[in-house]
Amino acid sequence: MHPIDAIGIDWTPYWTWMLVSTRLAGLFTILPGIGTNQIPAFARASTGLLIAVALVASGLEAHVPESLIEGGLMVFTEFILGFTLGFIPAMIIGAITVAGQVTTGAIGLGQANMIDLSLGGQVAILARIQSVHLNQIMKK
Confirm if 79 and 121 have CB atoms less than 8 A apart: no
The per-residue pLDDT of the chain, averaged, comes to: 82
Query: For residue 64, how many other CB atoms are within 10 A of its CB?
Result: 18
The 10s digit of each residue's pLDDT in 20-50 is 999 999 999 888 878 777 788 898 899 999 9
Q: Is residue 1 scored above 60 in pLDDT?
A: no
Strands (E), 34-127: 113-116, 121-124
pLDDT recorded at residue 118: 61
pTM for this entry: 0.72
The rounded distance, in Å, linking the Cα atoms of 106 and 77 is: 43
Q: Is residue 12 scored above 70 in pLDDT?
A: yes
The rounded distance, in Å, linking the Cα atoms of 62 and 18 is: 10
